[in-house]
Chain A
């Protein structure tokens, strides 16, 4: 089957030449949840932004391809790329506080995209939005649609954003740490909602997170990222049962356990990191971008 998202050997550099992504390859099959896990600064968010075409100006892609449903983003002109990304992908952002325009009501903000970008009729867009709000268990859509973002709680806003992400039936959703900014109790509900909608709509998700607990709950496959390099990828169950790479083993061992809440937290072992760093430095020395 043709993957929904296929990233092949993607590398990106900062203006000073430092590599932030190191020949990253990963694919997401249709209807599959692929977790992308790693420490902060490992480049997980960067990959999501690269796919959605919103990398910061300072980050430059120097090699590799990104294909959405077989279409190579690099071969499209800017306008066609925007249209493709707009129609087939969506983002569930990390921070629900800043992801909604504070000066516009929720309703117009949600329908506007369907009407303006996808050319739906106003009535159809309105109906669609109400259906989605129902799916994310918002009981009083009238009030929510008329509200300004600051009048809703963080959990409510994240529900609205999830509804908005699924509204246009994208093939791929990039979820960029969608639960990190929320209370633990709300996190669980939101996670369950995303999983529910993902199953119902059959949407592929690239799920960016640093939380292995979340990975275990939601994803079928995992890519573990360190310093912009995929160090291991596997099916989720297999990764937890038998992690192959030393870094993955250390990462799993470092996860706090509820069964032993008084155990001191274990950081990832220094020697593992030193080994990884040396490995990456050696690879960097020989690396030349294949084009660009």
Chain B
């Protein structure tokens, strides 16, 4: 009991910091039109490469400076967050539902279902993921839904492998056998007895996957394969920042920090949630 309490106290700052950043970024993304100080697309060549507010030559209203076309960096980051979060939630949830369902079936039913699903996963994992994503988007065409679809198609295997292993070990437990003796149907047992016990892992993976989806989206927009070039995304801002690193380092550094903080927060948040959800650790 005491150990659990100490563990929880140790987790708390992590949960609060990670959750705090995510809530802040999410709120900023949702209310982007209200809080962004400038129009993220407005170009003004008179204001190009303004430095962030604490450096000489900064303009009020352009807190993190501007890029080489005079667009406000902070506003672009806030609007870029919209796409990052939409992709994170939609892609990670789709991958999670698909992968967990197949993993649960493979792990619980075993036999042929397991053999078929496991072989598909093996083949899937043989593709380098980023290359696979680029190929998929090239085939599906650019756009928000293609990016989401591509990430879900690639990353469901992460869920499938972990959930399969967990479902397998749960299926061997005596309480599953007792449920069979009592006369429950197989699907009922899978959903009522096994699923709740693999849920902590699903939640942790889901959060982790959201971080991964943010990275993949950034990579895709970095190579110009994501959304239309007009909409700001973190990846496309990084790509532009890379070109003017010697004249305006902030255009590269701020989106990178934003990206790293977000991805880190997603994974930390997932770990903390897992500890919270786990009935034995709770």
Chain B nearest Cβ from A177, distance in angstroms? 12
Chain B nearest Cβ from A127, distance in angstroms? 19
The interface residues of chain A lying within 8 Å CB-to-CB of B197 are 101-103
Report the nearest A residue to B282, measured CB to CB. A148
Contact check, B196 vs A117: say whether CB atoms are below 8 A apart.
no
- Whether A60 sits at the interface, judged by CB under 8 Å, is no
Contact with B along A116-137 (1 / 0, CB 8 A): 1100000000000000000000
The interface residues of chain A lying within 8 Å CB-to-CB of B177 are 54, 91, 93
Q: Please choose the segment from A79-87, A204-212, A254-262, A263-271 that sits at the chain B interface, where 4 or more of its residues have CB less than 8 A away.
A: A79-87
Chain A nearest Cβ from B171, distance in angstroms? 12
Contact check, A99 vs B178: say whether CB atoms are below 8 A apart.
yes
CA A93 – CA B177 in complex, angstroms? 10
> Which range contains the number of B residues in contact with the other chain?
10 to 19
Contact check, A101 vs B175: say whether CB atoms are below 8 A apart.
yes
The interface residues of chain B lying within 8 Å CB-to-CB of A85 are 181, 183
Contact check, A91 vs B181: say whether CB atoms are below 8 A apart.
yes
Which of B111, B183, B193 is A82 in contact with, Cβ under 8 Å? B183
Contact with B along A172-190 (1 / 0, CB 8 A): 0000000000000000000
What DSSP secondary structure best describes chain B's contact surface? helix
Chain B nearest Cβ from A52, distance in angstroms? 5
Which of B110, B174, B180, B196 is A103 in contact with, Cβ under 8 Å? B196
Contact with B along A187-211 (1 / 0, CB 8 A): 0000000000000000000000000
> Which range contains the number of A residues in contact with the other chain?
20 to 34
- Whether B280 sits at the interface, judged by CB under 8 Å, is yes
Contact check, A89 vs B181: say whether CB atoms are below 8 A apart.
yes
Report the nearest B residue to A150, measured CB to CB. B280
Contact check, A52 vs B174: say whether CB atoms are below 8 A apart.
no
Contact check, A117 vs B181: say whether CB atoms are below 8 A apart.
no
Q: Which of B51-106 contact A (CB under 8 A)?
A: none
Chain B nearest Cβ from A104, distance in angstroms? 7
Which of B175, B182, B199 is A117 in contact with, Cβ under 8 Å? B182
- Whether A53 sits at the interface, judged by CB under 8 Å, is yes
- Whether A153 sits at the interface, judged by CB under 8 Å, is no
- Whether A95 sits at the interface, judged by CB under 8 Å, is yes
Asked, given contacts A101-B196, A102-B279, A150-B280, whether A93 binds B180 with beta carbons under 8 Å apart, the answer is no
Contact check, A104 vs B196: say whether CB atoms are below 8 A apart.
yes
Contact check, B279 vs A117: say whether CB atoms are below 8 A apart.
no
CA A240 – CA B175 in complex, angstroms? 36
Contact with B along A68-108 (1 / 0, CB 8 A): 00000000000000110111011101110011111110000
Contact with A along B142-186 (1 / 0, CB 8 A): 000000000000000000000000000000011101101111100
CA A156 – CA B47 in complex, angstroms? 74
Contact check, A83 vs B181: say whether CB atoms are below 8 A apart.
no
CA A99 – CA B183 in complex, angstroms? 16
Which of A52, A100, A103, A150 is B181 in contact with, Cβ under 8 Å? A52
Contact with B along A37-56 (1 / 0, CB 8 A): 00000000000000011100
CA A83 – CA B110 in complex, angstroms? 23
- Give the residue among B181, B196, B197 with the most A Cβ atoms within 10 A: B181
Chain A nearest Cβ from B203, distance in angstroms? 13
Chain A nearest Cβ from B110, distance in angstroms? 8
The 8 sampled A-B contact pairs (Cβ below 8 Å) are A85-B183, A93-B174, A99-B173, A100-B175, A101-B196, A102-B280, A117-B183, A150-B280
Instruction: Beyond the given A52-B181, A116-B184, please list 6 additional residue pairs across the A-B interface where CB-CB is below 8 A.
Output: A54-B177, A83-B183, A86-B182, A94-B174, A95-B174, A104-B196
Q: 3 nearest interchain CB pairs?
A: A86-B183, A99-B174, A103-B196
